[in-house]
Each structure stands twice: as structure tokens, then as C-alpha cells.
């Protein structure tokens, strides 16, 4: 999946976390931070933790309408963080690319084009 910020046209290619095991793993046990997009399928408040995560990252919560509704930095070993505004999606992303997004931005999602060969 590709997440595109409509304000600055920056695009991030993400791994999707759709199943429960994928959502449970998230960034845990990975050597580096990779962008992961979680789809919770409905608006809500969703808590995360950063046990077993190797480096700081940003949590960017996105509403069903594509608005960035929350963004915060998460450091390793934090027990509990959650969005303060309802969101359907969560983008966990490295610090460098997190700078491309701010609260209030509109994003759109593009399906990743697979190689036809």
C-alpha cells in the first residue's frame, strides 16, 4: 500500500498489517523501522506499545476520511500510548518520513502495483 500526503505529494510505501498476527507483531523484533499501515476497519481509539521495538518511531493516526488526526513520537519500551481522536488507520513510520505528515493533512491510499512478470 502507498500512503500519499495530498499537501506535499510525498508518498510512503508501506507493509500492510491486516490480520491479527500482523497487527500484534507490528514493529516488534525488526532490526529497523519500516513503514507499516494498520487498518482497524472502523473508527476508534487504538492503543499501542513499543516493547521489543529497536528504535523510536512515529504513530500517525488517520481517520476514515483520510485526515491525519493524531501524530506522536514513540520510544522503545513504552507501555501504553493511544490516539486521542477516533481513527481507522495507524501508520507506524520512521522519524525521517514522519516529518512529511502533520495533524490536519489529508492522505489518500494507493494499491501497490505488483510486477506483472
pLDDT tens digits for range 73-105: 999 988 899 999 999 999 999 999 999 999 999
- Cα–Cα distance, 59 to 46 (Å, whole number): 11
- The pTM score is 0.91
**The domain 2-110 is classified under which CATH number: 2.60.120.260, 3.40.50.720, 3.40.50.1010, 2.60.120.1140?**
2.60.120.1140
pLDDT at residue 113 in the model: 66
How confident is the model at residue 19, as a pLDDT? 86
Higher-scoring residue by pLDDT: 71, 17: 71
Residue 47: which residues within 8 A CB-CB, separation 6 or more? Answer: 80, 81, 82
Could you give the percent of the chain with pLDDT greater than 90? 70
> Hey, where are the domains in the chain?
2-110
Average pLDDT over residues 98-113: 93
How far apart are alpha carbons 23 and 69 in whole angstroms? Answer: 20
Over 70: is that where the pLDDT of 49 sits?
yes
Amino acid at each position: 500500500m502507498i500512503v500519499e500526503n495530498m499537501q506535499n505529494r510525498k508518498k510512503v510505501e508501506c507493509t500492510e498489517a491486516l490480520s491479527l498476527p500482523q497487527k500484534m507483531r507490528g514493529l516488534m523484533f525488526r532490526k529497523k523501522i519500516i513503514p507499516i499501515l494498520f487498518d482497524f476497519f472502523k473508527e476508534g481509539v487504538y492503543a499501542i506499545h513499543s516493547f521489543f521495538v529497536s528504535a523510536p518511531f512515529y504513530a500517525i493516526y488517520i481517520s476514515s476520511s483520510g485526515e491525519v488526526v493524531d501524530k506522536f513520537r514513540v520510544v522503545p519500551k513504552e507501555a501504553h500510548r493511544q490516539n486521542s481522536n477516533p481513527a481507522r488507520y495507524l501508520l507506524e513510520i520512521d522519524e525521517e518520513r514522519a516529518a512529511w505528515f502533520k495533524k490536519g493533512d489529508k492522505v489518500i491510499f494507493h494499491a501497490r502495483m505488483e510486477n506483472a512478470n
